[in-house]
Amino acid sequence: MLNKEELGWAKKYWTTANYIAASSIFLRDNFFLERALEKKDIKESLLGHWGTCPGINFIYTHLNLLATKKKQEILLVNGPGHGFAAVLANLFLEGSLGEFYPDLKNSKEGIGKLIKSFCWPGGFPSHINPEVPGAIHEGGELGYALATAYGAAFGNPELIVAAIIGDGECETGPTATAWHSNKFLNPKKDGAVLPIVHLNGYKINNPTIYATMEKKNLKKLFEGYGYNVKFSKGDHINMGKVMDESYREIKKIQKDSKEGKLKGNPKWPMIILETPKGWTVTKKFEGHKIEGSWRSHQVPFPHVKTDEKEFDALEKWLRSYKPNELFIKNKVPKETLKFVPKGNLRIGMNKNSRGGRILEELKLPPVSKFEFKFKKKGESYSASTPTIGKYFNEILKLNKKDNFRIFSPDELSSNKLDEVLDSSKRRYFWKTSEEDKKECKIKEDGKIMEILSEHTLQGWLQGYILTGRHGIFPSYEAFLPIVDSMVSQYLKFVEVAHTVPWRKPVSSLNYILTSVCWRQDHNGFSHQNPGFIDTLLTKEKEEKLVRIFFPADANMSLVVAEEVMKSKEKVTAIVAEKRQIKQWQTLKEAREQMKTGASVWDFASQKNPEIVLASCGDYQTQEMLATITLLKEEFPKLKVRFVNVSELNVLGTNKIYLNGLSQEKFEEIFTKDKPVIFSFHGYPSNIKQLLFDRRNTSRFDIGGYIERGTTNTPFEMLVVNKVSRYDFIIKIVEKLRKTNSEVSKRGGEVIKKMKRKISEHEKFITKDGHDPEEINEWNFK
């Protein structure tokens, strides 16, 4: 409960924050309204979202009280990110902003510069971003503030993460699923999340769904999710009471859990804060509601430069806050800051919001421990993801601290990474049967996070990584495009963070793409989509934040896994198959190739080649080597070179792409002028994009996935996408029949033979239902 002094402070602090936020949207001068407002005092471009700002300020006010009175660490994740004017005001008032921007101190000049800097060239943008302290989530980003908040709380037992979720944001799919994150939160070893739904009634131009629901039904909805629901109408006394109750309940759940007294599933508190949209703005204007209406969602008076009535209404609104009383001698008085937390208890100074400063390196086992050894290339079989699983299992054993987690849909076992369950288990805290715990390998403190929601996993992973930990996200290749927009936003966050000197690098955000399109013979066309690669490639630019790996076999997979777990502040993707495939490289050879990301495989090449055959992808490598075997039978004198590409970026120039090969090295590998037939795992356009700035790339003939497939046999998938050994032989003949006499002489005959092979294969699988022995039992010669 608030006493009289605290209540008076809350009102004064909140009003001050509201004035700073409102004036930040509009003013370029006359910041304290010491004279009559003039048109020249108004910014040319009016940006920002006022409608949510007063509610954010109200919540921040009471979080400040809680942090001060309880000496509690609080991290804020703010879903309504376009309410940045409010967040900026609070970061200024608590002094966090001034720690990093010395010219934004509590003075006439500092306050003026702060207000002018919002949405001003060279200043701050319209939404939360890494340039300010306290931020691990930009907000306004499709609804994953809640999942990010839970990711930050995992493994942070002293932390409370307050998550503000706008009622418009609550309509998104990611938010709807993220409510179930409470079932994964372990009160003994994790922090807590305090969700605060800001129910202010409107989106840009119409009511929110939650605003049309009866309160009793809203309560039932969240009680069904497992929360203890508390309503507040935006009254300071009531909000102080609700905040205090929530804090006590969090601490009781954590205490009871640690002492073994917790009965049943924990009912974590959540708050639904109901306030008018644009609270404290002009009630009505020209017969229309402003406060409590969609009209206050963004800029309440957008035409103040040209409309005299709007201009007068703006001045009256700003003066209603009584800035002459809020600022004494053009400064915020000490009394207004009395209950603002000090030092690292300030919300903006929470250590977890700058995860790079508290990041601890993972202990990594030597990959040599898991090397797959063989006698002859291409005669032994192994699988990449099970090998990676063994490596991650050892990482879990070596790192007892909660510093590494695996975030996966319900596919860990399907993707054959389940070796990790040897040293950790699937995390789930709500009650399950003893049989399920045993059979499904479930534990309350497991480090394997499985939920059938890619959005939630992405949010968890981002929150976990940005607060200074390590993680990886394995998934079916076809389903990772679900988080395309989320990873795009994350890359923007990291890109900006690179320009901020006080933000230190966090660990990379890592993916494993498996159950790939080339072996979806049991699922078919719906599970064939290598499009996530496209998303990552289109985001690569001068900042060089993306690395995409295509290990050809188990040993290269190990080397790649080691590389990504060491890397910092990148987004990495490993595309690797889970099934048994032929093995080609020793660990030493894989390490050597990692240095360049592409190399000539001498065992499959001759000097002075007439043509270069290249591959990127495990099945593509196997099939191109099969092509070489077949080519020796048809044209024994033909000299070829085989190139394997294990890191996709290297094909691009090093001006844009991370680790891009120099032009000299590129031509050393692919020759300067020989024709190249390239087989790629994904869409051919990816390779064309990478090669665009290279010289003489018209000599490249690129094959890949072209959206053809159903429940095909494995080899039929290659045939329908025109990347089988038979298709490649036809292309080789077409490329060389004018320059090679042997090919010229027998080319027509060989093409007919290859087409006949394709036709015979189709007849065989139609009759027998599987690929013939000459395909399945092929060996490299």
State whether residue 515 is helix, strand or coil: coil
Nearest CA to 48 among 79, 78, 86, 104? 86
Q: Confirm if 609 and 672 have CB atoms less than 8 A apart.
A: no
Angle at 690 between CA 685 and CA 691, to 5 degrees: 95
Domain boundaries 367-582, corresponding CATH code: 3.40.50.970
The residue-averaged pLDDT of 290-295 equals 95
The residue-averaged pLDDT of 316-341 equals 97
What is the DSSP annotation of 40-91? GGB-SS--S-TTTHHHHHHHHHHHHHHHHHHT--EEEEES-GGGHHHHHHHH
State whether residue 427 is helix, strand or coil: strand
Q: What percent of the chain has pLDDT over 90?
A: 93
What local confidence, expressed as pLDDT, does residue 264 receive? 93
What local confidence, expressed as pLDDT, does residue 410 receive? 87
Length of the chain: 781
Q: Rounded to an integer, what distance in angstroms lies between the CA atom of residue 562 and that of residue 304?
A: 58
Q: Which amino acid is at 383?
A: A
What local confidence, expressed as pLDDT, does residue 519 receive? 83
What is the DSSP annotation of 630-689? HHHHH-TT--EEEEEESBGGGGS-TTTSTTPPPHHHHHHHH-SSS-EEEEESS-HHHHHH
The residue-averaged pLDDT of 503-518 equals 94
Per-residue pLDDT tens over the stretch 612-643: 999 999 999 999 999 999 999 999 999 999 99
What local confidence, expressed as pLDDT, does residue 417 receive? 96
Half-sphere exposure of 442 (CA within 13 A, CB side): 18
Nearest CA to 170 among 191, 192, 194, 197? 197
The 3 state secondary structure assigned to 84-97 is: HHHHHHHHHHCCHH
The residue-averaged pLDDT of 179-197 equals 98
What local confidence, expressed as pLDDT, does residue 709 receive? 82
What local confidence, expressed as pLDDT, does residue 26 receive? 98
Nearest CA to 599 among 563, 631, 551? 551
Domain boundaries 4-342, corresponding CATH code: 3.40.50.970
Q: First vs last Cα of the chain: how many Å apart?
A: 81
The residue-averaged pLDDT of 502-514 equals 96
**Contacts of residue 692, Cβ cutoff 8 Å, sequence gap at least 6:** none
Q: Which amino acid is at 575?
A: V
- Looking at every residue in the chain, the average pLDDT score rounds to 95
What local confidence, expressed as pLDDT, does residue 324 receive? 96
Is 597-776 a CATH 3.40.50.920 domain?
A: yes
The residue-averaged pLDDT of 655-676 equals 94
What is the DSSP annotation of 238-303? HHHHHHHHHHHHHHHHHHHHHTT---SS--EEEEEEE--TTTTS-SEETTEE-TTSGGGSS-S-TT
Q: Rounded to an integer, what distance in angstroms lies between the CA atom of residue 368 and that of residue 739?
A: 46
**Contacts of residue 685, Cβ cutoff 8 Å, sequence gap at least 6:** 534
Within 382-424, residue ranges assigned H as helices are 384-398
Q: Confirm if 462 and 395 have CB atoms less than 8 A apart.
A: no
Residue-range domain boundaries for the chain:
4-342, 367-582, 597-776
What local confidence, expressed as pLDDT, does residue 178 receive? 98
What local confidence, expressed as pLDDT, does residue 413 receive? 92
Decide if pLDDT at 139 tops 90: no
Decide if pLDDT at 448 tops 90: yes
What local confidence, expressed as pLDDT, does residue 633 receive? 94
597-776 matches 367-582 in CATH topology: yes
Instruction: Find the radius of gyration of the CA atoms of the chain.
Output: 30
pLDDT tier at 526 (50, 70, 90 boundaries)?
confident
The residue-averaged pLDDT of 361-387 equals 95
pTM assigned to the model: 0.96
Q: Confirm if 735 and 611 have CB atoms less than 8 A apart.
A: yes
Per-residue pLDDT tens over the stretch 71-120: 999 999 999 988 999 999 999 999 999 999 999 999 999 999 999 999 99
Q: Rounded to an integer, what distance in angstroms lies between the CA atom of residue 637 and that of residue 744?
A: 13
What local confidence, expressed as pLDDT, does residue 313 receive? 97
Q: Rounded to an integer, what distance in angstroms lies between the CA atom of residue 425 and that of residue 435?
A: 14
The residue-averaged pLDDT of 258-271 equals 96
pLDDT tier at 781 (50, 70, 90 boundaries)?
confident
Residue 129 corresponds to which tokens in the numbers above?
Answer: 């971003």
Per-residue pLDDT tens over the stretch 1-25: 799 999 999 999 999 999 999 999 9
Decide if pLDDT at 571 tops 80: yes
What local confidence, expressed as pLDDT, does residue 346 receive? 98
What local confidence, expressed as pLDDT, does residue 333 receive? 97
Per-residue pLDDT tens over the stretch 411-437: 899 999 999 999 999 999 999 999 999
Q: Rounded to an integer, what distance in angstroms lies between the CA atom of residue 91 and that of residue 460?
A: 25
373-377, 652-656, 691-695: range with lowest mean pLDDT: 652-656
Q: Rounded to an integer, what distance in angstroms lies between the CA atom of residue 658 and that of residue 310?
A: 52
Q: Which amino acid is at 330?
A: N
Q: Does residue 219 come out as left (phi exceeding 0), alpha (psi in the -120 to 50 range) or beta?
A: alpha
Nearest CA to 88 among 163, 19, 7? 19
Decide if pLDDT at 523 tops 80: no
The residue-averaged pLDDT of 527-541 equals 89
Task: For strands 509-514 and 571-575, give the pairing.
Answer: parallel
Q: Rounded to an integer, what distance in angstroms lies between the CA atom of residue 377 and that of residue 628?
A: 14
Q: Confirm if 168 and 136 have CB atoms less than 8 A apart.
A: no
